[in-house]
Structure 1
Amino acid sequence: MKLLGLLVVMLLLPLSVRAQNETMPDLSTLTVTGSGHLASTPDTAFVTLAVETAGKSLADAQRQNSRVMQKVVERLQALQIPKERIQTSSFTVSPHYRPLSKRPTAPPSAAPEIIGYSVSNSVTVELHHPEQAAAVIDESLTAGANRFHGLHWALRDEQPARLTALKQAAATAREKAAALSGALKVKLLRLISAREDSQVVRPQSHMARSMMAMEASADAPIFAGEVKVEATVTLVYEVGPE
């Protein structure tokens, strides 16, 4: 008998909870989003350059590449750039094949004939004095670099700028909430949730350029511009009548 009574209570309990939930009113909420930003002068630059060489054998192409890259690194170190801030960003080897049009007697199923190799070695240079960017490009070109893969600017420590932008965004969101609640004749009861997002917008010059293009613009001025940190904050408030 006791077991039967317990089963009845267990069956009725979900119905009781559901009835209570149905009688509870939905929360009235107000959602606002604020934005903030901070522009800072970059204190770091990254320059990516490459040396490309070709040879009839892989060993020959690698030997030429190593010799030229060593000259590039020596020029960079002469600018007082520590070796640990000169990092290989990519290293590729590409075989060259004889075109089928120049192999009239070869059957269609013949294996490709390798006639040479290209080696490309790219390095990224981290500069803690961004004004050195032009000198780095010029000295690398003089030493034998023949590709320019990009230049971009950054902040070594982005956290202070992110926090400042987030504070601005949160303050703007609160001001919006106060203005809207006053206009709508409702009262802000409590903050239910807060969501934040931030991003860094970096000025950059990203392009692949040949040695000829680099020589044509070697004396062109380079301007760092500003690094912008943008943030948004979304606040959700419970509201009620005044």
Structure 2
Amino acid sequence: MDTNPAPTPYGTPDAPRLAVRGEAHLEADPEIARITITVHARGTDRHDALNDLTRRNTHALDLIKTYGEAVENIETGTFSISPQLTRHGRTERVRAYHGRVHITAELTDFTALGELTTRLADLELTRVEGPWWALRPDSPTHRRARQQAVREAVQRAREYAEALGTSLAALVELADIGAENTPSFAGYGGPAGGMRAAYAGAADHTTEAAPLDLEPQRQHVYATVNARFTMAPPELKGP
């Protein structure tokens, strides 16, 4: 039979417990940038609109791929082609067809980012949004923040114990609560300035637009832990 008493949630006079919180906030340069490109096409004939959309989509993808290793990832998102209806008497007729394709590109070379963004925005019927800056999920910055939060919790606990004239005895619990209380960065940070561009009709390619000067947005990484320790019994003295 187990004769050991169940641990009490708040400790005992012989083993008082101490609960503290450790927090860390680090800043770091972003490691990746994401932009979204929406290619549009429209026409009075469905087949022609689809062919035009295919051509524009291929053109945009080919342009992105010319940047080689500067582009880490390219993904095609939603595709749609839909009729625009207009009322003619008591009936509805198709006035035109509208198509669109969404593309996402992730870049690690921020010098190439400004040039690529400008060239994409200069394409006909193309909309560009972003950039969204981010750290990689496995970035060492996340690990440093977690470790710093733990060290801060231990230091804070030691200071409380020293104020009582005693010392820490053992760690009872360490809880990572960062996932519940940390501002969400969704892996990509917030949009920097909400840059966007859309052009309809024929573009003037006699001169190319100057590349955008995009300044990377510093990333904020937070970590928070709760820690509980036992202390050696303090010798409390009266005033």
Give 2:198's aligned residue: 211
Q: TM-score, normalised by structure 1?
A: 0.73
For the pair 1:120 / 2:108, whether they are aligned, the reply is: no
Work out the CA distance in 1 between the residues paired with 2:47 and 2:152: 62
* Code of the aligned partner of 1:205: A
For the pair 1:36 / 2:28, whether they are aligned, the reply is: no
Structure (1 or 2) with the larger CA radius of gyration: 1
- 1:203·1:227 contact (CA, 8 Å) conserved in 2? no
**Residue 176 of structure 1: how far off its partner (Å):** 0.7
Aligned with residue 143 of structure 1, among 106, 111, 123? 123
**Residue 170 of structure 1: how far off its partner (Å):** 0.7
**Which deviates more, 53-62 or 173-182?**
53-62
Structure 1 residue runs without a partner (length 5+):
1-12
Work out the CA distance in 1 between the residues paired with 2:38 and 2:169: 60
**Residue 84 of structure 1: how far off its partner (Å):** 7.4
Aligned with residue 86 of structure 1, among 67, 70, 74? 74
Work out the CA distance in 1 between the residues paired with 2:164 and 2:125: 65
Q: TM-score, normalised by structure 2?
A: 0.74
- Equivalent runs, 1:185-196 vs 2, <5 Å: 185=165, 187-196=167-176
Aligned residues: percent identity?
Answer: 23
Aligned residues: 213
* Code of the aligned partner of 2:26: L
Point out the structure with the larger strand share: 2
Work out the CA distance in 2 between the residues paired with 1:25 and 1:165: 29
Work out the CA distance in 2 between the residues paired with 1:82 and 1:223: 17
* Code of the aligned partner of 1:87: E
TM-aligned CA distance change 1:33 to 1:90, over 3 Å: same
RMSD: 3.3
- 2:192·2:217 contact (CA, 8 Å) conserved in 1? no
Give 2:221's aligned residue: 229
Work out the CA distance in 2 between the residues paired with 1:191 and 1:39: 29
- 2:131·2:195 contact (CA, 8 Å) conserved in 1? no
- 1:43·1:130 contact (CA, 8 Å) conserved in 2? no
**Residue 230 of structure 1: how far off its partner (Å):** 1.5
TM-aligned CA distance change 1:161 to 1:82, over 3 Å: closer
Structure 2 residue runs without a partner (length 5+):
235-239
For the pair 1:58 / 2:46, whether they are aligned, the reply is: yes
Work out the CA distance in 2 between the residues paired with 1:47 and 1:169: 33
- What secondary structure does 1:64 align onto? helix
- 2:75·2:104 contact (CA, 8 Å) conserved in 1? yes
For the pair 1:67 / 2:55, whether they are aligned, the reply is: yes
**Which deviates more, 115-124 or 37-46?**
37-46
- 1:150·1:207 contact (CA, 8 Å) conserved in 2? yes
- 1:47·1:150 contact (CA, 8 Å) conserved in 2? yes
- 2:71·2:109 contact (CA, 8 Å) conserved in 1? no
**Residue 36 of structure 1: how far off its partner (Å):** 1.6
- 1:96·1:115 contact (CA, 8 Å) conserved in 2? yes
